[in-house]
Structure 1
Amino acid sequence: MNLQAIVAVSGKPGLWKALVQNKTGFILESLDAQKTKMVANLSTAKMAALDEITVFGEDDDIKLTDIFERIKSSANVPDAKADGNTLRKFFREVAPDHDEERVYSSDIKKIITWYNLLKDMPLFNEEAKQPAVEDTVVEETAVAEVAAPSEAPAKAKPAKAAKAEVADTDKAPKAKKAPAKK
């Protein structure tokens, strides 16, 4: 599942797709039917990318993407408006090692609501894009070649810098000599 560029914005219902970034924040588009757009200012809005969200676990935190995968394979998903006991029972099935004291029923409702928004989208069924191993090796080699230039250009640069320093001192006004003390 590819949830990159899908964010939740605090204070705004639903999920948003980050379209582009500008100087002050991001231009977001809602994932609902209205496709409303808004500018989220980074200094005032708190955004969380879905592929980075975790849920409190008893031992380790559980990634939201893992929970979505388990919900996808589940036979029946309850409605997000169901009572808290039904939601908690379902969440025990899909995330058995979650911390029940720190994961509230409102969190479970939000996760199920997000799942219902995303389940029919094509990006929910496609694989997350990860860089290929061959590409990273080529990039590292290119970076190493740029970092270690040949000896000839390195010797030429200091000579030019020295000439520039001499030229600057010739243009500087000459200091007046202080009168001799008697």
Structure 2
Amino acid sequence: MALDKILSIGGKPGLFKLLTQTRTGFVGESLLDGKRVSVGMRNNVSVLSEIAIYTLEEEIPLRQVFQKIKEKEQGKKTSISHKAEKIQLEEYFFEILPNYDEDRVYASDIKKIVQWYNILLDNGITNFSEGDTEDVHSEEE
């Protein structure tokens, strides 16, 4: 499954898989517990493929950050919990992305990234390369 079908919904924990669009919003399924939710257009919704992380030079797509975590952890879950102390999270993220902008990337952002990575891994979503949407389509054909 491609990251363009995975959503973060403001005020709701975890990540959601986009199931279908409706006239007033869309229906998503939680990757944590499988429950379906109906979300209106007024909710703050982010598609993971559209999120980027600030560095000192440019913005790095979230998929590249996930790929760096995957390489560091050799395809396993993160060695640090998203509930770890702020300083530990920052040190871990510095190993992943040494040039991240410490003024614009907060500890809460790092917590989400670590948590999201582990949720995606639990759900078998591990292809974070640039062409993951093409890979998914070619597998379906």
TM-score, normalisation: structure 2: 0.84
Partner of 1:93: 95
Could you tell me which of 133, 136, 139 is aligned with 1:129?
133
- Counterpart CA distance in 1 for 2:31 and 2:37 is 12
Residue 54 of structure 1 is matched in structure 2 by 52
Which one has a larger percent helix, Structure 1 or Structure 2? 1
Bigger strand fraction: 2
Q: SS in structure 2 opposite 1:8?
A: strand
The equivalent residue for 1:143 is none
Instruction: Give, in whole Å, the separation in 2 of the partners of 1:4 and 1:95.
Output: 22
User: Which structure 2 residues correspond to residues 65-144 of structure 1 after superposition, within 5 A?
Assistant: 65-75=63-73, 77-125=79-127, 128-130=132-134
Cα RMSD of the aligned pairs, angstroms, is 1.8
The aligned residue for residue 18 of structure 2 is 18
Please tell me whether Structure 1 or Structure 2 has the larger radius of gyration of its CA atoms.
1
What is the aligned partner in structure 2 of residue 3 from structure 1?
A: 3
**2:36 equivalent in structure 1:** 37
Q: TM-score, normalised by structure 1?
A: 0.66
Q: How many residues align?
A: 129
Cα deviation for residue 73 of structure 1 reads 1.0
Aligned-residue offset at 1:57 = 1.4
Q: Which runs of 5+ in 1 are unaligned?
A: 132-182
Decide whether the 8 Å contact of 2:4 with 2:50 is kept in 1: no
Q: Which runs of 5+ in 2 are unaligned?
A: 136-141
CA contact (8 A) 1:55 1:61 kept: yes
1:74 shift after superposition: 1.0
Instruction: List 4+ stretches of structure 1 deviating above 3 A.
Output: none
1:113 partner SS: helix
